[in-house]
C-alpha cells in the first residue's frame, strides 16, 4: 500500500533528505519519496503504520510533523487519492495549493492544508530573504572595520572602541543570520549524520568564538569578515534553492488548472453538462468556441484552430478538422467541434504529464546525492586536519596561541563556500530541466513528433 503524507517543518533539500532517511528506517516502510514543495512524503508500506509512530520518528529527526488531522493529513494512492485518477482528481488534490476547492473523502488534500503547505514554504523563503538582507547590510561595516580588509585596501579607519563595535555587529550576524545553520547542526548531530549544516556551523562558530577571544585579550587576528561573508553566501544559497522549488510547484499547479471541470456531452440531439470524471471512452462531446477541450479525442464534426502552446510548445494555433486528434487542456478557437473521447482518467495525456512532473519533483539528481555525501566527509576531514594542525604546531614547539590560530584558519577555510552555493544551484538548474525532459518525453509519445516540449518550463 502507498500513502502520501503532508509534512511540516522542512525548509531545504537537506531537511527533505533527513525526513526520507528517518522514514525509511521505520519497520514496515518499504520506500519513501520526499519532496520539499509540496512538502510531502509518499510512503510504500508493507502494512499500515499509525501516524503517532511516524510523528515520533519525525520528531527525532528534527522539527518535523505530519499535517494536522482534518487538514489533508494524507492521501491514499490505493483508490482514495489523486494518483492514477482523472486530471480532475489531480485538480482537486492540488487545488489546495492555490487555496481553491476541496477534495472530500479519505485523506483528500483540502484547501486548508494546501494553504498551510505553501504558506509555510513562503514564510521560510521570506525568513531567509530577510536574514540575507539584514546580514548583507551588517556585512558592509564589518568589512570596512576589519583590519585585514583595511590592509588590503591600504586604508586605516580606526577609532576608540572600533573592535567592540565589530564584535557587536558580528554577534548579530552570527546569532541571527547563522541561526538556521546552528539549528540544522544540532538536528544533524542528534540524528548522528553530520552534513552541510554541521560543516557551516563548525566554520562560523570557530570563526566567531575565536574572534571574540581576540577581541577580549587573546593575541591573534580576528575572522569577523570571513564569518559574515560565509553566512551571507549560505543564506543566499538556501534562499535560491527554496525559491526554485516553489517555482517548480507553481508549474505543476498551472498544469492542473488547464482542465475544465465539466464537459458538454451529446446525448442524441441534446447537450448535457457532466462532470469530467463521468466521461467515458467513446462519448461524444461538444467543444464550444473559446472553451478548453475537456478530454483527448478525435474530431468527428466541425473545424477550428486550437491553441496548444501550453502543452506542446507550438506557438501558433493548430488547425483541427475531422479525424484529427485533439488534446485535453488545449483551447478552442472560433469554431465548434464535436469530439469522440478516446482517453480519460489516468490514460489522458495531461494526467500522464502531471504524474511525470510529480515524479520528477521527487527525484534527486546524482549531483545532489554526491554533494550530500561530500559534505559529510568534508566535515570529518576538516575536523581531522584542524586538530591535526593544532597538534603538529604544538609538536614543533610553537606556543598554544600560534597553533590555535592556524587550527582556526584551517577550519574556516575548509568550509567550502562553493559547495554551499553548488547544491542550491544544482536544484535551480536540475529540477526545471528534469520537469522539461519528462514533459518532452510524454509530448513526443503522444504526438508522435519527438522534439516537441512544454516550453513554458
Q: Are 219 and 401 in contact (CB under 8 A)?
A: yes
Mean pLDDT within 1-30: 81
The per-residue pLDDT for 245 is 66
DSSP for 39-77, written as a single string? TEEEEEESS---HHHHHHHHHHHSS-EEPPTTS--EEET
pLDDT at 133 over 80: yes
The per-residue pLDDT for 92 is 39
> Pairing relation of β-strands 304-307 and 331-332?
antiparallel
- In angstroms, what is the C-alpha Rg of the chain? 28
Joined together, the cell numbers standing for residue 241 give: 534553492
Q: What is the pLDDT of residues 398-407, one digit of tens each?
A: 888 888 888 8
- Residues with Cβ within 8 Å of residue 276, at least 6 apart in sequence: 86, 87, 88, 259, 260, 261, 262, 263, 294, 295, 344
Decide which of 165 and 86 is more confident.
Answer: 165
Q: Residue 28: is it exposed, middle or buried by C-beta count within 10 angstroms (0-12/13-18/19+)?
A: exposed
Q: What is the mean pLDDT of the chain?
A: 74
Decide which of 71 and 199 is more confident.
Answer: 199
The per-residue pLDDT for 367 is 55
Decide which of 171 and 363 is more confident.
Answer: 171
Task: Name the 3-class secondary structure at 331.
Answer: strand
- Number of alpha carbons in the 13 Å side-chain half-sphere of residue 165: 15
Under the banding of pLDDT at 50, 70 and 90, the label for residue 249 is: low
Provide, rounded to the nearest whole percent, the portion of the chain with pLDDT above 90. 15
Decide which of 123 and 247 is more confident.
Answer: 123
Q: Are 245 and 431 in contact (CB under 8 A)?
A: yes
Mean pLDDT within 217-246: 82
Longest Cα–Cα distance in the chain = 101
- Number of alpha carbons in the 13 Å side-chain half-sphere of residue 303: 3
Decide which of 142 and 40 is more confident.
Answer: 142
Mean pLDDT within 56-72: 69
Q: What is the pLDDT of residues 151-174, one digit of tens each?
A: 888 888 878 888 899 999 999 999
The per-residue pLDDT for 247 is 62
115-119, 227-231, 301-305, 403-407 — which is least confidently predicted?
A: 115-119
pLDDT at 96 over 80: no
Decide which of 137 and 371 is more confident.
Answer: 137
Phi, psi of 452 (to 5 degrees): -70, 150
Cross-strand bridge partners of residue 35: 40
Q: How many residues does the chain have?
A: 457
Residue that is written with C-alpha cell 511540516 in the block? 8
Q: Which of 182-196, 226-240, 425-439 has the highest mean pLDDT?
A: 226-240
184-198, 245-259, 329-343, 402-416 — which is least confidently predicted?
A: 245-259
The per-residue pLDDT for 70 is 38
Under the banding of pLDDT at 50, 70 and 90, the label for residue 322 is: very high
77-91, 261-275, 338-352, 382-396 — which is least confidently predicted?
A: 77-91
Joined together, the cell numbers standing for residue 36 give: 520539499
Phi, psi of 263 (to 5 degrees): -135, 155
Q: What is the pLDDT of residues 283-301, one digit of tens each?
A: 999 999 989 888 889 999 9
The per-residue pLDDT for 116 is 46
**What is the distance between the alpha carbons of residues 108 and 4, in angstroms, rounded to a whole number?**
10
Q: Interhelix angle for 224-256 vs 400-414, to 10°?
A: 20
Q: Are 344 and 259 in contact (CB under 8 A)?
A: no
Q: What is the pLDDT of residues 2-14, one digit of tens each?
A: 888 888 877 666 6
The per-residue pLDDT for 338 is 92
**What is the distance between the alpha carbons of residues 34 and 23, in angstroms, rounded to a whole number?**
10
Q: Are 61 and 22 in contact (CB under 8 A)?
A: yes
> Pairing relation of β-strands 65-66 and 337-343?
unpaired
Under the banding of pLDDT at 50, 70 and 90, the label for residue 385 is: confident
Under the banding of pLDDT at 50, 70 and 90, the label for residue 73 is: very low
Residue that is written with C-alpha cell 462531446 in the block? 285
Decide which of 313 and 228 is more confident.
Answer: 228
DSSP for 265-295, written as a single string? EEETTEEEEEEGGG--TT-EEEE-TTPBP-S
Helix ranges restricted to H, 11-160: 13-24, 51-61, 87-94, 111-145, 147-153
pLDDT at 91 over 50: no
Joined together, the cell numbers standing for residue 332 give: 478552442
Q: Are 97 and 355 in contact (CB under 8 A)?
A: no
DSSP for 321-371, written as a single string? -TT-EE-TT-EE-SS-EEEEEEE-GGGSHHHHHHHHHHHHHHPPPHHHHHH
The per-residue pLDDT for 233 is 85
**What is the distance between the alpha carbons of residues 255 and 126, in angstroms, rounded to a whole number?**
26
The DSSP 8-state label assigned to residue 364 in this structure reads: P
Under the banding of pLDDT at 50, 70 and 90, the label for residue 368 is: low
The per-residue pLDDT for 424 is 52
**What is the distance between the alpha carbons of residues 19 and 9, in angstroms, rounded to a whole number?**
10
The per-residue pLDDT for 197 is 79
pLDDT at 359 over 60: yes
Task: Name the 3-class secondary structure at 326.
Answer: strand
61-75, 143-157, 366-380 — which is least confidently predicted?
A: 61-75
Amino acid at each position: 500500500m502507498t500513502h502520501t503524507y503532508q509534512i511540516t517543518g522542512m525548509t531545504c533539500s537537506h531537511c527533505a533528505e533527513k525526513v526520507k532517511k528517518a522514514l525509511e528506517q521505520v519497520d514496515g516502510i518499504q520506500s519513501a519519496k520526499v519532496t520539499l514543495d509540496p512538502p510531502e512524503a509518499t510512503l510504500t508500506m508493507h502494512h499500515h503504520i499509525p501516524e503517532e509512530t511516524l510523528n515520533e520518528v519525525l520528531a527525532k529527526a528534527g522539527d518535523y510533523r505530519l499535517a494536522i488531522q482534518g487538514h489533508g493529513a494524507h492521501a491514499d494512492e490505493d483508490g482514495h487519492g489523486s494518483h492514477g485518477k482523472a486530471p480532475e482528481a489531480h485538480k482537486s488534490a492540488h487545488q489546495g495549493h492555490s487555496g481553491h476547492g476541496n477534495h472530500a473523502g479519505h485523506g483528500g488534500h483540502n484547501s486548508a492544508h494546501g494553504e498551510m503547505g505553501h504558506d509555510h514554504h513562503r514564510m521560510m523563503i521570506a525568513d531567509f530573504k530577510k536574514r540575507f538582507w539584514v546580514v548583507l547590510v551588517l556585512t558592509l561595516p564589518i568589512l570596512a572595520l576589519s583590519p585585514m580588509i583595511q590592509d588590503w585596501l591600504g586604508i586605516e579607519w580606526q577609532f576608540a572602541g572600533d573592535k567592540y563595535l565589530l564584535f557587536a555587529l558580528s554577534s548579530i550576524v552570527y546569532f541571527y543570520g547563522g541561526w538556521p545553520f546552528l539549528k540544522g547542526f544540532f538536528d544533524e548531530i542528534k540524528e548522528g549524520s553530520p552534513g552541510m549544516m554541521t560543516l557551516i556551523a563548525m566554520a562560523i562558530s570557530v570563526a566567531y568564538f575565536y574572534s571574540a577571544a581576540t577581541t577580549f585579550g587573546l593575541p591573534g587576528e580576528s575572522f569577523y569578515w570571513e564569518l559574515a561573508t560565509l553566512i551571507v553566501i549560505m543564506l543566499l544559497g538556501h534562499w535560491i534553492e527554496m525559491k526554485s522549488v516553489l517555482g517548480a510547484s507553481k508549474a505543476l499547479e498551472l498544469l492542473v488548472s488547464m482542465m475544465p471541470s465539466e464537459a458538454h456531452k451529446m446525448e442524441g440531439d441534446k447537450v448535457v453538462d457532466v462532470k469530467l470524471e463521468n466521461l467515458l471512452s467513446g462519448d461524444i462531446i461538444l467543444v464550444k468556441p473559446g472553451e478548453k477541450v475537456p478530454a483527448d479525442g478525435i474530431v468527428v464534426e466541425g473545424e477550428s484552430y486550437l491553441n496548444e502552446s501550453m502543452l506542446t510548445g507550438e506557438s501558433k494555433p493548430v488547425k483541427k478538422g475531422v479525424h484529427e486528434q485533439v488534446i485535453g487542456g488545449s483551447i478552442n478557437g472560433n469554431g465548434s467541434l464535436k469530439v469522440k473521447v478516446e482517453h480519460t482518467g489516468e490514460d489522458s495525456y495531461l494526467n500522464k504529464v502531471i504524474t511525470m512532473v510529480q515524479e520528477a519533483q521527487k527525484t534527486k539528481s546524482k549531483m545532489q546525492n554526491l554533494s550530500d555525501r561530500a559534505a559529510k566527509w568534508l566535515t570529518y576531514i576538516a575536523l581531522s586536519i584542524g586538530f591535526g594542525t593544532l597538534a603538529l604546531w604544538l609538536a614543533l614547539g610553537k606556543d598554544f596561541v600560534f597553533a590555535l590560530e592556524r587550527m582556526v584558519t584551517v577550519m574556516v577555510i575548509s568550509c567550502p563556500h562553493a559547495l554551499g552555493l553548488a547544491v542550491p544551484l544544482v536544484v535551480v538548474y536540475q529540477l526545471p530541466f528534469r520537469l522539461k525532459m519528462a514533459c518532452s518525453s510524454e509530448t513526443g509519445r503522444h504526438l508522435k513528433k519527438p522534439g516537441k516540449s512544454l516550453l513554458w518550463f
